[in-house]
Amino acid sequence: MSKIETWMLWLFSAICFLLAGIIRLKSEVDFTGIMFIILAVSYIFLSVANYKKDKKTNEKKSQ
């Protein structure tokens, strides 16, 4: 079984939160939909941070 990178999990979660927020905002505009979108944006930032950390770690291992 292949190793799943942590940044991919953060990104998948961000996409799920983003979709949930958009669906919630389409049905009715309320605070929950906005919170889901804010969570999605924060998860995207966490995904990028983990990607950069993993990339640096892999570069150090290859040297």
User: pLDDT (tens digit, 9 = 90+) per residue, 16-63?
Assistant: 999 999 999 999 888 999 999 999 999 999 999 988 888 888 777 776
pTM to 2 decimal places: 0.79
> What's the rounded Cα separation, in Å, for the pair 53 and 46?
11
Q: Are the C-beta atoms of residues 58 and 50 closer than 8 Å to each other? A: no
**Domains in the chain: how many in total?**
1
Helix (H, G, I), strand (E, B) or coil at 5: coil
Interior CA angle at 52 toward 41 and 42, to 5°? 15
Distance CA 42, CA 61 (A): 29
Any domain includes 63: no
Q: Does 47 fall in a domain?
A: yes
Residue 5 CA to residue 54 CA, distance in Å, equals: 8
Q: Which domain, by its residues, includes 13? A: 7-53
